[in-house]
Amino acid sequence: MTSTITMAELLVQPYRNANQDQVNQFYGLLATYPHLEWIAPDLEIADLAARFRAQHRLRIPDALHAATAAGCQATGFITNDAVFRRVEGFETLVLQELV
């Protein structure tokens, strides 16, 4: 599962580059990716994000991602940002560290 915030973050660079083909490729891949569930922020996730932001000094997008994972009882979090290790409740795998 992932937050709908993920799509907003992924599309910034293609839109900045006016690359509509890449926008379409991201949508085509991610909107139909098997077993990937998109979770939109709701009030419960917003509240948890505020708590994570206060406790762990996360930026709003990061707090929303963490709150989405925690709110869905995820046990793992895959990212390239080690800041998520500050959040307890799920194991964080930082991809850059595997390469």
Residue range(s) defining the domain that contains residue 15: 2-74
Indicate the DSSP class of residue 1: -
Does residue 41 lie in a domain region?
Answer: yes
pTM of the model: 0.87
pLDDT of residue 20: 97
Q: Please check whether residue 79 lies inside any domain of the structure.
A: no
Q: In Å, how far are 47, 70, 75, 84, 98 from 93, measured between CA atoms? A: 25, 15, 11, 9, 9
Q: Does residue 49 lie in a domain region?
A: yes
* Per-residue model confidence as pLDDT tens digits over 46-97: 999 999 999 999 999 999 999 999 999 999 999 999 999 999 889 999 999 9
For residue 81, is it within any domain? no
Report angle CA 10, 89, 43 to the nearest 5 degrees: 60
With respect to residue 15, please indicate whether it lies within any of the assigned structural domains.
yes
